[in-house]
Structure 1
Amino acid sequence: MSSPCDPQHAPAGDVGAALMMIDSRLKEIHDGKTGVDTEQKALTDQYIASLDTKGVNDVLDGVCTLVYMFMQWLRAAHEDHDKDVIEYVVPNVVGTMRMMPKSVRPEAIPTMAGLLVAAGTGLSPSLWRQQYGDWTEAELTPLEATALLLAEHINRITDDPNFATRMVTQALSSADED
């Protein structure tokens, strides 16, 4: 029986914009030794500020699509080693978020953990979250942090600082070809 949270029923959203945000933040973190690329940050911030409500919702759906894609990749990688993605990835991400109290308020962590479990079990993060109402302002940064931490986790596993971004870019390219 199909779940109402099945990914086939979910909007993909603006995955390109979501990926641009996450990739920009990853680069910001890794290039932090030399300083933040203020031009890139300003462009990203300007783009986000220019969005209307529909555009913002599309980016939110895009970030949820990234969370889903990252968790599905991690699930396959962990299953190859007879490990459970929920057991190994969720505590890692939640523990990291707990160390980020300025960006991730403690009350947002259970929602992000639920989002990860939903994605890790094959449910759409967007549709899973939607059943609890609209996104709150306090959840936006934690959602971005969740996608960022998953991408960074994938990049560390693969020992490739661009693997997660490249994986999504290739998936988008192949979807455009179909």
Structure 2
Amino acid sequence: MSSPCDPQYAPAGDVGAVLMMIDSHLKAVYDGRSETGAEQQALTEQFAASLDSVALDDLLDGACTLIYMFMKWLHKAHESHGKDTIEYVVPSLVATMRVMPKSFPPEVIPTMTGLVIAAATDLSPSLWRRQYGYWTDEEMTALEATVFLLAERINRITDDHDFATRLITEALDKWSGD
């Protein structure tokens, strides 16, 4: 029986724009430009403020699509070693969120964890989240950070700072070529 949160019913959103933002954040961290974090956050907020509601929804759906795609890759990586994705990804993600209270107010941690678990259980994160109403302002930064943390985890696992970005870019290239 199909779920109303089945990924086949989910809009993909603007995956490319979200991927560019995440890749920019990753490069800044890897290049040691952590002092630009506030500046980069201000630019991200300015960009988001310039969008109409449809474009903003596309970004939110794109972020959720990236969560789904990253979790699918993490599932395959963990499964190949006989490990459970939720058991290994979620606790470390929550621990990271808890030590970053400015990015992750405590009240958004369950939602961000739910998005990751939804993806890990083959549900669409955006459709799962949509059933609880519209996104809150606090969740916007946390959503972006969740995508960042998953991409960074993939890059760390593969020991390749560009792997997560390349993974999605290649998937998008393949999809657009079909």
Calculate the TM-score normalised by the size of structure 1: 0.93
Q: In the aligned structure 1, how far is the partner of 2:41 from the partner of 2:116?
A: 27
Deviation at 1:31, TM superposition (A): 2.0
| Aligned AA (2:12) | A
Deviation at 1:37, TM superposition (A): 8.8
Q: Contact 1:24/1:41 (CA < 8 Å) preserved in 2?
A: no
| Aligned AA (1:73) | W
| Aligned AA (1:170) | E
2:68 pairs with 1:49: no
What does 1:23-172 align with in structure 2 at a 5 Å threshold? 23-33=23-33, 35-36=35-36, 44=44, 46-172=46-172
What's the secondary structure of 2:155's corresponding residue? helix
Deviation at 1:49, TM superposition (A): 3.2
| Aligned AA (2:56) | V
Q: In the aligned structure 2, how far is the partner of 1:125 from the partner of 1:91?
A: 18
Q: In the aligned structure 2, how far is the partner of 1:139 from the partner of 1:41?
A: 14
| Aligned AA (1:171) | A
Deviation at 1:24, TM superposition (A): 1.1
Identity of aligned residues (%): 66
RMSD value, Cα: 1.9
* Counterpart in the other structure of 2:10: 10
Q: How many residues align?
A: 178
Which structure 1 residue ranges, 5 or more long, are not aligned?
none
Structure 1 pair 79–145 and aligned structure 2 pair: CA distance change class (3 A): same
* Counterpart in the other structure of 1:175: 175
Structure 1 pair 89–34 and aligned structure 2 pair: CA distance change class (3 A): closer
Q: Contact 2:28/2:34 (CA < 8 Å) preserved in 1?
A: no
Moved more, 43-52 or 154-163: 43-52
Deviations 1:53-95 (A, max 9, x none): 1101100000000000000000011000110000000111111
Q: In the aligned structure 1, how far is the partner of 2:11 from the partner of 2:44?
A: 23
Which structure 2 residue ranges, 5 or more long, are not aligned?
none
Structure 1 pair 111–45 and aligned structure 2 pair: CA distance change class (3 A): closer
| Aligned AA (1:154) | I
What's the secondary structure of 1:12's corresponding residue? coil
